[in-house]
Structure 1
Amino acid sequence: MSIEYLRLIHRNARPSPLAALPHPDGRMVRIARIGGWLANGWQAACAQPLLWLNIMLLCADIATLAQLAPVLSPLALLLVPYAVGILIVAQHRAQSGRAATFSEIRSIVIARRDALIVVAFAMLAYWAIAYVFAIGMRDILQPIAASNDVRAFAQAPRGMIEIAPGVPALVIALAASGFAPALVVLHDASPLEAMTASLKAAALNWRIALACVPAFVCAAALLPTMSAMLRALVATPLVTALPLLAIYGGYRDIFVERR
């Protein structure tokens, strides 16, 4: 998959649609705004509870599938941009004062399906890098720790040991794909433009990333240590619901709202 393909897919040599945004590369916002993003998402969820419940359960099922059958987790990741795109369209319509119909959401998401699948494969590539790096570093660190009697390493949670070496690639994946579905479905941005803008916005708001990313990485690492019932009924739905509720509010605050 070439860079030129990422740049030209779903486009016809026209000016960047992101140039019309008030903040095409994003702007810095206060970390306290996260509460407003969650409140905005909760209002949208209350307006269309069935749609939001279905999407959140789908994302929770994807996360559970990745835990139970790690070999299938790459396939599950391919559905994430579509699920986020559906919620973004629904919340954008609700913000305009009317609820979106299923046919409207479907037509918008299907029209951008090529760009969304490229974003999904980019997420998959970052995930693969993180996984390979984590496995390689684990195999290197464990013998070193054992030979030097590093008890802290041996006593650390298994999930934390496995995920920690791949955190940098996971952070880049989350930053590059976080706002990409919103920029694709609402502004018809190309995958490369959307992921670049999302990465720039995440770098600009590094304080928010510093607060959110470690929390979710730690949650993902600790999930395997929980009981199956607690993980399935409480932890996984909560971990997946929070970013889904906040993503549209974050997009509007960082890219759209004027100073």
Structure 2
Amino acid sequence: MKILRIGICALLVFAVAAHGGVEDWARAVIETGAGLLFLVWALWIFFNPKEQPVFSPLLPPLAALSLIVLGQWFFHRTASSHSTRIELLLLLADLIVLFLAVQAFRTLRDWRGFVWFGMGFGFLVSIFGILQHLTFNGKLYWFREMRYGGIPFGPYANRNHFAGFVELVLPLSLAPLILGRVRRERWPAVGLFAVVPIGALFLSASRGGIVSFGVELAVLALAVILQRTKGKQLLAGAAVLLLALLMVSWLGVGQILQRFSS
């Protein structure tokens, strides 16, 4: 199902590039893309009857949430039926993409490829965010006017959304590096994929994002204690954090301090 894996990755790239998929046209593309990918999978299953669907334990909670939202909308137990319907459609699209990801990424090799994709994509988006931060002219992508205002970072009109994106992709590089799951010859590449997003996260000056990053580090520290990680891996993780902080101090730390003091 290589075509399905490519389609899922392409849909994720579009969702981030289209300002996080917050506008109606972007949501329509995401929902339509999810439907088309589901159709591709259904046809593949139809012509390959020996293949069986795989179910993840992550699916039932999201499906239950979708049913709750559906019930609120159907029985008019919501402040805005229109807004609830729009969010329900997006939630169903997310559920479809998660289901398809479980079907498309089955082997360890598949998931390794997805992890490298996530690390590389997070690195590129972070680089773009840093460049836009340093050369910001009041427009998204340097050409699109922000009609409704906002404090953007990277492709997102809201810097908190960018911070949320980094929180999702950062563990793909930071956790394996600290827990000793990365080959020594790959340390520089994986370390770079961790340093730049951390630096971009701090430059975004998202208080919630930085606090969440602190919580991630606490959870990771607990995992290190439980697994009794070797000193070399701990030094690698400490070096990544130090380099990220040095990058932030070099690019400008004043805005971050001002943000936390306000």
Classify the TM-score, shorter chain: under 0.3
TM-score of the aligned structures, taking structure 2 as reference length? 0.26
Computing the radius of gyration over CA atoms, which structure comes out larger, 1 or 2? Answer: 2
Say which structure is richer in helix: 1
